Structure 1
Amino acid sequence: MSLRRQLLKALHPAHPVLGGNTISLLCNGEAYFPALLQAINQATHTVRLETYLYADDAIGQAVTTALCAAAARGVDVRLVVDGFGARNIDQHHLPLLLQSGVQVRIYRPEHHLWRHLLSRKRSRLRRMHRKMALFDGGTAFIGGINLLDDATDNPSPTRLDFAVQIFGPMVQPIAEAMDRQWQTLSRRPLFHRSIKHAPTPTKTAPAGQIRAGLLLRNNLSQRRSIENAYVQAIQTAHDHITLAMAYFIPSRNILNALLSASERGVKVRLLLQGKIEYRLQHYASQSLYRSLLNAGIRLYEYQPGFMHAKVGVIDGRWATLGSANLDPFSLLVAQEANIVIEDDAFCAQLEAKLQQEIETHSQEITAAAWGKKSSLHRALRVMSARVLFRLLSLTRYADNY
């Protein structure tokens, strides 16, 4: 891309902010799943749903039952799942869904775990990590919560995560993104004419006062849309930044922006994963702690169970949440969807929730305590970081990371 095009893209971001929305914060599966199931059960015309994980647990079963019932009463139901994250869907859910008339598309089917993990083909790493839903063209959901019970494979009954429910003009770009995904996955082989699906009807009348924009990340024209949004927001911060990230291995641009913000006096806090879910990512993330602490950034580790949050609040005026972690998988490889919200009241609500989790469920990591970690722990951090970036280098994705 030429320098001129880069400058124009920076000046005119690909996520137009739309006013007139009502956006409700949903914390954890406890709030999200009842709202999602209610929307499915009340749908009369269309259901659109995208998810990375589709677990064979109580939540997966409840969603399958609701989707099948919707299709049986004549609702046009479309489901998109990732072929790796939901690679076991065909063992139970898929036959029931198809028999009931639910239309299903699987993004890059993958049934061989180790072949996937060890393959050097770049295409195998491209996954559909988005979590979005749209009902009757008027009620949308977007966030980081998979179709997975909070307690499944978790030492705690709560898996810290967030989503939002949306009414208003923001449903239009969400519908368009989901329709494009469906059309792409519905393409027929070469020399066979593909069916052009009609756009999902939407209800875009103003429903509130909140301004918001949709951020999509893909491997074509929007490779760095989410990364750039974070960098621009961090660079303009003047008071405080709070990020909660399940997997925190940021790009060089984001890391430098955070370090620079702290150096100019911005209060930067990071709420990160305390429990070890994936050892490589966990220790690789901790390899950054010393640099972050030395820059004056305050670190907290969430303790009760696994944290899956991917949210940020800056200066109480800008917030984002969605499916994208600040790690190589989300920033370099996967299809992701975040929402940016410019509303003081929403930002205050999200920041209050993060503050509560920091105060009640987290442990602060201080420079003094971190310096006392054993030599074995330091070796694990260094080795994990090297292995992770070595794996990335084999795919050629990490050239500019």
Structure 2
Amino acid sequence: MARKEPRLIWREGNCIELLENGGEFFPALCRDIDEAKASVHLETYIFNLDDTGRRVLSHLKAACERGVKVRVVIDGFGSYPQATEIARLLEQMGAQLRIYRPEPNGLGRFRFKLKRLRRLHRKVTVIDRRIGFVGGINIIDDLEDVPDDGQGPRPRFDFAVRIRGPIVQDLVKAQSDLWIRMGWRRRDDWNEFYQRLKGWRERRAQALAETQERFEPGMRASVLLRDNLRFRNTIENVYVHALETARHDVLIANSYFFPGRRLKEALRRAARRGVRVRLLLQGRAEYAIQYRACRSMYHRVLQAGIEIYEYQPSYLHAKVAVIDGCAMVGSSNMDPFSLLLARETNVFISDEGFAEELKNSLERELSNSCNHVTAES
């Protein structure tokens, strides 16, 4: 029996473009930053100062010089090696930076604390409150630290979406809420603070109303957040419900696949109902522990009638799915880090045309770049 549908905020009338790999993502991102008139708000887990990272910084600097308000949020662990230099460069150009859970210095870096596992893993950029980018692509070059078998490196396989329309307001709210929370501090002037907060909310609502676009015909979509307060299970619940109601085809590409009991059972039940369930997983080990943990489940997954394919040319970094006529694109893996600890953002899109486009991209790689895993192999 299908589970009750999760409570989602659906937005109609969106224009959503699929971007494959950094080769499509970074030109689109930099072009929109160059056209920004008022604001750029960028969040990322990894910000690497390679050629691509410095290219993005140069476009942010040009935006600052035009008077655009630039805000950047990076994760304290994901961007740890270069966080100090990134902060210096952003400060020089006049941008604002906040670091989510900065890593401790000295011996503290070697002490384990549970809260250090709660990371900002989402990758979200909003420009002028009317264009949004969501996906799994960090600010890092596609060819940085990838395998090379002697024929030249191949880029990480990943996706993002460029969004215009009513759904962007949900991204704006999510970013604004986190920015305020990260700037929280002890204070004595609470009355003045609440008045400022009230005024800010009114200005934000007015700005959203003025910048909101609606496309006809447009796509129906919902922003899915995961945090450790209000949205602890949102992404997992949507996955489970979509799997429970699937009738024909499930195709999931996930870089770190180690789901809990609910997701595993939903996948098995779908396969038992006659749904074709295919998993596109890593064939090259970027992180050995996660890779081996995923492979430890292969025998049971195959026994359930689920097909497994391993991506061979480079690292698979995608976190996407096509379930009948719906598609999922975002930052959340199907593992304990994403589903239990990290802040994540996915977009769930109910549009057959978009789902077909994503499915075609994945099936191209299944045919050309993957090994089909069998019980014998």
Is this a same-fold pair by TM over 0.5?
yes
Letter in 2 for 1:261: A
1:337 corresponding residue in structure 2: 345
> Is residue 218 of structure 2 the alignment partner of residue 225 of structure 1?
no
Q: 1:192 to 1:251 in 2, by over 3 A?
A: farther
CA distance in 2 between counterparts of 1:249 and 1:213 reads 25
Residue 131 in structure 1 maps to residue 117 in structure 2: no
Distance 1:110 1:188 in 2: 19
- Deviation of 1:92 (Å): 2.6
2:204 matched residue in structure 1: 199
Give, in whole Å, the separation in 1 of the partners of 2:5 and 2:238.
Answer: 11
Matched, 1:241 2:237: no
Equivalent residue in structure 2 for 1:46, among 39, 43, 51: 39
Select which of 295, 300, 306 maps to 1:291. 300
SS at match of 2:204: coil
Q: Does 1:187 align with 2:218?
A: no
Which moved further from structure 2: 197-206 or 291-300? Answer: 197-206
Distance 2:298 2:117 in 1: 27
2:15 is equivalent to residue 22 of structure 1: yes
1:96 aligns with: 89
Kindly state the Cα deviation for residue 126 of structure 1 after the two structures are TM-superposed.
0.5
Shift of 1:276: 0.8
CA–CA distance in structure 1, aligned partners of residues 240 and 160 of structure 2: 22
1:180-239 deviation per Cα after TM superposition (whole angstroms, max 9, x unaligned)? 011111112354666645538332221241000000000001100000000000000111
Map residues 57-96 of structure 1 onto 2, 5 A cutoff: 57-96=50-89
Q: Is the 8 A contact 1:61 1:93 kept in 2?
A: no
SS of structure 2 residue aligned to 1:367: coil
TM-score with structure 1 length normalisation? 0.86
Pairwise mapping of residues 2-401 of structure 1 onto structure 2 (< 5 A)?
Answer: 11=5, 13=7, 15-111=8-104, 119=112, 121-155=113-147, 156-191=153-188, 196=197, 199=204, 201-202=207-208, 203-208=211-216, 209-315=218-324, 317-369=325-377
Contact residue 6 and residue 241 of structure 2 kept, 8 A: no
Greater RCO, 1 or 2 (C-alpha within 8 Å, sep 6+): 2
TM-superposition CA deviations, 1:132-165 (whole Å, max 9, x none): 1111111111111000101000113311000000
Instruction: Return the alpha-carbon distance in structure 2 between the equivalents of residues 114 and 36 of structure 1.
Output: 38
Aligned residue type for 1:107: Y
Cα deviation, residue 91, structure 1 = 3.9
Instruction: For 1:254, give the aligned amino acid.
Output: L
Displacement of 1:116: 5.3
5+ residue gaps, structure 1, are 1-6, 370-401
Deviation of residue 114 (structure 1)? 8.8
Deviations along 1:308-358, whole A, 9 cap, x unmatched? 00000011x111010000000000000000000000000000000000011
Query: For the residues of structure 1 that align with 2:353 and 2:254, how far apart are their CA atoms?
Result: 22
Report the RMSD for the aligned CA atoms in angstroms: 1.8
1:207 partner letter: F
Q: Give 3-state SS (helix, strand or coil) of 2:154's partner.
A: coil
Displacement after TM superposition at 1:11 (Å): 4.8
In the superposition, the TM-score normalised over structure 2's length comes to 0.91
Percent of aligned pairs with the same residue? 43
Which whole-Å CA distance do the structure 2 matches of 1:226 and 1:349 have between them? Answer: 22
Asked whether the 8 Å contact 1:43–1:70 carries over to 2, the reply is yes
Unaligned runs of 5+ in 2: 148-152
Report how far residue 93 of structure 1 moved: 2.3
The separation in 1 between residues aligned to 2:21 and 2:56, in whole angstroms, is 16
Q: Please, which moves more after superposition, 203-212 or 162-171?
A: 203-212
Decide whether aligned partners of structure 1 residues 101 and 134 sit closer, same or farther in structure 2, where only a CA change above 3 A counts.
same
Q: Which amino acid aligns with 1:158?
A: P
Q: Given that residues 211 and 343 in structure 1 are in contact (C-alpha distance below 8 angstroms), is that contact kept between their aligned partners in structure 2?
A: yes
Contact 1:21 1:168 in 2 (8 A): yes
Residues 90 and 294 (structure 1), Cα distance of their counterparts in 2 relative to 1, 3 Å cut: closer
Q: How far apart, CA to CA, are the structure 2 residues paired with 1:254 and 1:166?
A: 28
- Matched residue type, 1:40: I
